[in-house]
């Protein structure tokens, strides 16, 4: 569908690695930090906010997880009269949150984004409410592993990548080469300052000397990654996928302030600012759950058709790297060159904080366009359960 959303501002936390710097910040806290920064950057009147939409997958990761979007909105200062919706389209949740705002922009502006703390996903005991026999408690299960397993397809997400590797003749060497390239690109983009405008500084308290500890840089990137090092890792599912050529499990929050074109014009005159970019189209489609990683192919093809774009019209393209085998299958079917796809890295190197990923990608694209580096861009992701989502961005004329 065609959309007309203006991105007035976009901020995100640095991405924390699993059990890393952000492990003690709940999803709500991460979303709030990003939201406060995005609102401050936009300079909009707080009473103009109409709704908050936030993507989140692991709602059990904190006590207030089920309230996530509402609590982020309230903590960020939004009016009590504003509404809130927590969105769960799994890996596409951050994108979906942005799209959902389209309906509500007629009544004001929206705060959108995604937040996830995968480090805080709990170990749980199922079926304990009815009690259990003496000395025979039911086993504890990892809710994160369960979330990454499709009970309908009866396989973990990694096996869907193995299916694509077999179908499209993708080798272990191909996967390791792409993973190393992803880390190299993310490190180079960091060094070049390409993420600087979108990332906010997160306070982690004070050290023993009484100095504030600040977290300001994505920590999942492995600068020393190489094909040789990756080749030493054992396959997780007996095929080509390893911990080194799959996306990370991460913690992060991202937020964007979006408005209608009419509001953006009045806001621009008042603040002398310009929207970062526009969201001009979005497509979400279903696919075979056992081949879920192929979802972005149909979504992107349909989006290009609806907008009357060609792939050659797209100046920047990021498709989340769930697994190297998955992204290489998508790359092959879309006939993309190495240079066209993920020039600043993606899920393997930067990380994949589930519900926040789509918002993180959108924030990066918005700033990249605002910097005059692209006129048109697409962000996309495969989605557990068998879906794909793609969102189109354009420079504001």
Q: What is the mean pLDDT of residues 272-292?
A: 98
Query: What pLDDT score was predicted for residue 106?
Result: 86
DSSP β-ladder status, 387-394 and 316-319: unpaired
Question: Of the candidates 196, 224, 205, 222, which has an alpha carbon nearest to the alpha carbon of residue 14?
Answer: 196
SS3 184: helix
Phi then psi for residue 56, to 5 deg, are: -160, 140
| Least confidently predicted of 98-107, 124-133, 340-349 | 124-133
Give the end-to-end CA distance of the chain in Å, rounded to a whole number.
Answer: 21
CA distance 91 to 380: 10
**CA atoms within 13 Å, Cβ hemisphere of 263:** 24
What integer pLDDT is reported at residue 64 of this predicted model?
95
At residue 210 the predicted structure's pLDDT band, cuts being 50, 70 and 90, is confident
Report residue 127's pLDDT band, with 50, 70 and 90 as the boundaries.
Answer: confident
Percent of the chain with pLDDT over 90: 94
- Candidate list 91, 110, 175, 287, residue with the active-site label: 91
Query: Above 80 in pLDDT, residue 135?
Result: no
In DSSP notation, 31-64 reads: HHHHHHHHHHHHT--GGGEEEEEEE-S-GGGSTT
Q: Which of 284, 251, 308, 359 has the alpha carbon at shortest distance from 7?
A: 359
Rounded alpha-carbon distances, angstroms, from residue 199 to 25, 53, 255, 360? 16, 20, 11, 10
The pLDDT of residue 58 is 96
pLDDT of res. 302: 98
Residue 354 tokens, joined = 């589930």
Two tokens, residue 177: 């080469």
Q: Is 156 left (phi over 0), alpha (psi -120 to 50) or beta?
A: beta
| From 58, 110, 287, 382, active-site residue | 382
Chain centre to alpha carbon of residue 105: 22
Contact yes or no for 68/59 (Cβ under 8 A): yes
Q: Is the pLDDT of residue 174 over 90?
A: yes
Mean pLDDT of the region 341-363: 98
Mean pLDDT calculated for residue range 181-209: 96
3-state SS assignment for residue 68: helix
Contact 16, 215 (CB under 8 A): yes
Cβ-based neighbour number of residue 149 at 10 Å: 16
Q: Is 382 a catalytic residue?
A: yes
CB proximity list for 90: less than 8 A, separation 6 or greater:
57, 354, 383, 384, 385, 387
Q: Could you confirm whether 110 is annotated as catalytic?
A: no
Superfamily classification of domain 2-121+247-394: Thiolase/Chalcone synthase (3.40.47.10)
Give the pTM: 0.97
């Amino acid at each position: 569908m065609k959309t007309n959303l203006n991105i007035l501002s976009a901020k995100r936390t640095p991405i924390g690695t699993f059990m890393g710097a952000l492990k003690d910040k709940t999803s709500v806290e991460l979303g709030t930090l990003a939201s406060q920064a995005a609102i401050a950057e936009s300079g909009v009147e707080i009473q103009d906010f109409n709704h908050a939409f936030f993507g989140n997958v692991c709602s059990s990761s904190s006590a207030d997880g089920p309230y996530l979007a509402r609590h982020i909105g309230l903590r960020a200062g939004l009016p009590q009269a504003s509404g809130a919706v927590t969105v769960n389209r799994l890996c596409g949740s951050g994108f979906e949150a942005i799209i959902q705002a389209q309906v509500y922009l007629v009544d004001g502006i929206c705060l959108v984004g995604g937040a996830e703390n995968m480090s805080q996903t709990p170990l749980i005991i199922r079926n304990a409410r009815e009690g259990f026999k003496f000395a025979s408690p039911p086993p504890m299960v990892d809710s994160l592993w369960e979330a990454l397993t499709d009970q309908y397809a009866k396989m973990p997400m990694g096996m869907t990548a193995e299916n694509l590797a077999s179908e499209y003749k993708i080798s272990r060497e191909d996967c390791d080469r792409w993973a190393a390239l992803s880390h190299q690109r993310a490190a180079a983009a960091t060094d070049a300052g390409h993420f600087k405008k979108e990332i906010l500084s997160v306070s982690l308290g004070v050290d023993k000397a009484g100095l504030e500890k600040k977290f300001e840089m994505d920590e999942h990137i492995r600068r020393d990654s190489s094909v040789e090092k990756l080749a030493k890792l054992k396959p997780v599912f007996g095929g080509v996928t390893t911990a080194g050529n799959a996306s990370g499990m991460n913690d992060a929050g991202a937020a964007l302030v979006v408005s209608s074109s009419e509001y953006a014009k009045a806001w621009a005159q008042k603040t002398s600012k310009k929207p970062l970019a526009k969201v001009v189209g979005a497509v979400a489609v279903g696919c075979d759950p056992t081949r879920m990683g192929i979802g972005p192919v149909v979504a992107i093809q349909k989006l290009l058709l609806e907008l009357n774009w060609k792939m050659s019209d797209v100046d920047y393209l990021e498709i989340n790297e769930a697994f190297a085998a998955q992204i290489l299958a998508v790359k092959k079917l879309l006939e993309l060159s190495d240079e066209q796809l993920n020039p600043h890295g993606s899920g393997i190197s930067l990380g994949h904080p589930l519900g926040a990923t789509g918002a993180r990608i959108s924030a990066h694209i918005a700033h990249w366009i605002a910097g005059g580096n692209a006129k048109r861009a697409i962000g996309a992701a495969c989605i557990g359960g068998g879906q794909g989502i793609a969102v189109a961005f354009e420079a504001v004329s």
